[in-house]
Amino acid sequence: MEVRTAEHLGMCFGVKDAIDMALELASHGPVTILGDLVHNKDVVARMEAAGAARARHKKDVKTGTVLLTAHGTAGRVKLELEQEGFKIHDAACPLVLRVHQAIQKLVAEKRHPVIIGQAGHVEVRGLVGDLDEYSIVLNEEDLDQLEGKPRLGVVAQTTQPLDTVLELVASIRRRFPRSDVRFIDTVCQPTKERQQALHQLAGECDVVVIVGGPESNNSRKLTELARRLGRQAYQVANASELRPEWFTGTRVVGLTAGTSTPDHVIQEVQARLQTFP
């Protein structure tokens, strides 16, 4: 069985920079990461081994230094931490911060902010945390909440599929022709590159394996895209989750990975795939 890898796959610069920041801070003293630095269990385990504690909630932080995750954090949360005396370091990806800036610009234009994304996801929570009103949409049914809004400003969670985002923006404009709709494309370039590379890869293989943890939104979206492209697709967190029976009769398997997946995990999955007949 031949294994072909996507032209673009795996960890992006924002995740790598966040990991480097965490390791550097941990080397100088106690630090707590508020939430998951990135959505990958291998990375989380590496941080804990380096001495970086992890807390789900602010009340659980036991160190004077706090590192905020790559997914971005609301300004209100940062202010609360600072007022309570914590020393804050922010590992937010610059491309996520760009979404925060885009929303601020749209609100300044007196537009109702609309975020195309997954409600409850840590990135989206950070995006809406400083807003008094907003709408989060992910499908046609969600658009009902935009009724009666004369001016709309639309952005997207950085890891959403661009085609889905563009389809929803077109639907908003069709549904509300009298509304003034401004869209700022905030899907990040690494996400776009991995999605475009998967389009090409899917045309060259029978089965696609996506390496990424179940909490990783961009990995799930790659899995969904592979299936929409008509390929059998399996998402695994690491090589131990691969099953030989998935590849019975397969000539070519394609391999890609989400933006929070470390290189060594991808390499281990690739090596395991190459042992299958």
SS3 string, 67-108, reads EECCCCCCHHHHHHHHHCCCEEEECCCHHHHHHHHHHHHHHH
How many other β-carbons are positioned within 10 Å of the β-carbon of residue 102?
Answer: 21
Q: Mention every residue, 6+ apart, whose C-beta is less than 8 A from residue 224.
A: 161
Catalytic residue among 2, 82, 84, 123: 123
Are 172 and 181 spatial neighbours (Cβ–Cβ below 8 Å)?
Answer: yes
Q: How many whole angstroms separate alpha carbon 126 and alpha carbon 76?
A: 9
DSSP, collapsed to helix, strand or coil, labels residue 207 as: strand
Cα–Cα distance for residue pair 196/267, rounded to 1 Å: 21
How far is residue 238's CA from residue 209's CA, in Å, rounded to a whole number? 11
Q: 59 is written with which tokens? A: 């009340």
**Number of other residues whose CB lies within 10 A of the CB of residue 7:** 12
224 given a catalytic annotation? no
Closest CA to 80 of 68, 96, 92: 68
The two tokens of residue 220 are 């799930």
Tokens of 93: 């990806």
DSSP 266: H
Question: Known catalytic residues?
Answer: 123
